[in-house]
Amino acid sequence: MSKQNVLITGANRGVGRGLVAAFLQKSNTTVIAAVRDPKNPSSASLSALPRGPGSRVIVITLDTADEGAAGCAIQALQTKCSIDFLDIVIANAGINQDGKPVLDTSVASIHRHFAVNTLGSVTLFQATAPLLRSSLSGRPVFVAISSNVGSIAGMDIMAGMSNTSPYGASKAALNWFMRRIHFDEDWLITMVLNPGFVKTDMVAETTKGLPFSPEDMGAITIEESAAGLVKRIDEATRDGAGGTFQNVDSEKIPW
């Protein structure tokens, strides 16, 4: 396998960490793990993850809530780490807080969710596009990790889940930008992936107090989710997966 460079945001926990671990199992792969605080124990421990022959992990600072952070991180990656191309970028960092009906959702909370979940991915794309254009694989991929909660067409299925604002709205906006990029940039494979209902700290927090557990709802492990996401990315083509919104099992999700 030829060498590849993969950048993942929100890489120190949950699905992000699972993706780092999965890509590190490949050979000749450099995984750039973008985190808010590299000194955090969960970030520092990324360097101890098992890896395939010729693979390595680079931990960098990137706070997706800061609109200038992605540009600074990529500049540092080029100058300090001599990274001059990227093959895969995964915009995974996200927040899900203060879930309430729209009537009770503060404007401050909406701004906070859009800053991280929507604009964080857009600025990441803008900052990484030049390095993706230099991909050695010939098939550069930009992936946004979204959620089926961001499906407007699918909202009737979750009509009783009034705690999905403002998280769902920020993911719906993210989905729009990623699909628009697909039409704007014919050199790039752009796709939106739902990692599934995964047993993460975020899910544990959002289901706290409910009369059922994540397992009762068919939650999958982080490892299962990461393996499925990597498979979707590895198999993606522009004509097949480009501009689509898919579940971890490849099922299409309505916008």
Q: How many CB atoms lie within 10 A of CB 98?
A: 17
What stretches of 25-104 show up as alpha helix (H) in DSSP?
A: 41-44, 69-81
| Active-site hit among 167, 199, 208, 231 | 167
Of 3, 26, 171, 231, the catalytic one is 171
Helix (H) or strand (E) run with residue 33 in it: strand 29-35
Question: Would you say 94 and 9 are in contact if contact means Cβ atoms under 8 Å apart?
Answer: no
Question: Collapsing DSSP states into helix, strand and coil, what is residue 53?
Answer: coil
Element (H, E) at 247: strand 245-247
Chain position carrying tokens 């099922």? 251
Query: Could you confirm whether 171 is annotated as catalytic?
Result: yes
The answer to whether the beta carbons of residues 60 and 73 sit under 8 Å apart is: yes
Please spell the DSSP secondary structure of 126-183, one letter per residue.
Answer: HHHHHHHHT-SSS--EEEEE--GGG-STTGGGGTT-GGGBTHHHHHHHHHHHHHHHHH
Q: Are 46 and 97 in contact (CB under 8 A)?
A: no
Q: CA 178, CA 244: separation in Å to the nearest integer? A: 9
- Report the catalytic residues: 167, 171
